[in-house]
Amino acid sequence: METESKTPSLAARGSLKAIFAYQSIRHGQVSPCRFTPSCSAYAAEAIETYGFLTGTRLAIWRVLRCNPFGNHGVDLVPLKTGASR
């Protein structure tokens, strides 16, 4: 079964461009992120997967957890219900 590709909203496209610009500026520098993938990669994947509002909410929650007193390690964007990676 083939799924149709949904075009991202204007807000999602703008956010993704800002994230990719940030990543290109930081390219080659050590990541301060405690998680894998980095917070910016997580945000981009969350917005691509869930859209602007839910993706941004997930990204903000991730950044709030990325602090010296928080956890560390692998933290992937949650799967959409019924989706496979």
Q: What is the DSSP letter of 45?
A: H
Q: pTM for the whole thing?
A: 0.81
Q: What pLDDT, in 10s, does the model give residues 18-61?
A: 999 999 999 999 888 889 999 999 999 999 999 999 999 999 99
pLDDT at residue 71 greater than cutoff 90? no
d(CA 19, CA 63): 13
Which tokens go with 45?
């994947």
Query: Is residue 20 helix, strand or coil?
Result: helix
Amino acid symbol at 60: I
